[in-house]
Amino acid sequence: MKQYDDLEKILISEEEIRTRVAELGRAITEDYRNAPEPIVLVCILKGSVVFYTDLMRQIDHDCRLDFMIVKSYGGGTESSGNVRFVKDLDDSITGKHAIIVEDIVDSGLTLTFLRKNLITRGAKTLKICTLLDKPMRRSPKSEISVDYCGFKIPNEFVVGYGLDFDEKYRNLPEVGVLKPEVYKNV
């Protein structure tokens, strides 16, 4: 397939993703076993949509779905931390258990902003679940800790399984490393 020509390598296979997502679902199920309330799963569109739909089917608890679209000013392959809402949650999360479901934590600035914002709305508990984490890239200004992480990855730009570059490659079933010449030429 043409999209694969732009990849340096496959970093995480479909099988590895499936196994790990099931493990994360079991861990979340276990952690909320004694909570009578539902969990609000907050999907950060668009990047986490594939992970989100797979993850929720692995959680054996009453889950409510809600969606946010945020944009970080700056574009390219770097996050600026200046985040604006394009779409906010439909329902209030006051007094509820919420889990933010992200595709990847890089500088951590997007999640620092989101976490603070959701806490001010009075969530009863707020956790962060990310498919991928690049710990080496964390900004000193980041104030988050990840509660559930699929894979820690090196400092490389990855696409697939929902993650994009310039809105492309989201539909690849694996996570792959994009050839640097693809994003350096834009």
Tell me which residues touch ligand IMP (CB under 6 A). Answer: 47, 72, 79, 102-110, 157-159, 163
Minimum Å distance from CB 170 to ligand IMP?
Answer: 10
What amino acid occupies position 76?
G
CB of 39 to ligand IMP, least distance (A): 21
Peptide bond into 116 cis (omega under 30): no
Minimum CB distance to ligand IMP smaller for 32 or for 150: 150
Instruction: Identify whether 66 is a catalytic site residue.
Output: no
Closer CB to ligand IMP, 151 or 157, in the complex:
157
For residues 17 and 174, is the Cβ–Cβ distance under 8 A?
A: yes
Cα separation, 109 vs 184, whole angstroms: 23
Considering the complex, what minimum distance in angstroms separates the CB of residue 44 from ligand IMP? 6
24 versus 110: smaller Cβ distance to ligand IMP: 110
Helices (H), 32-102: 49-56
By beta-carbon proximity to ligand IMP, the closer residue of 29 and 149 is 149
Provide the token pair at 186.
Answer: 């834009």
CB of 179 to ligand IMP, least distance (A): 13
Catalytic residue among 90, 106, 147, 166: 106
Residues 114-135 as b or e (16 or more Cβ within 10 Å = b): bbeebeeeebeebbbbbbbbbe
Strand (E) positions, 46-157? 63-72, 83-87, 97-105, 125-133, 148-152
3-class DSSP assignment, residue 177: strand
Q: C-beta of 164: minimal distance to ligand IMP in Å? A: 6
CA atoms within 13 A of residue 117's CA, in its CB half-sphere = 17
Nearer to ligand IMP, 32 or 79 (CB): 79
Active site amino acids:
106
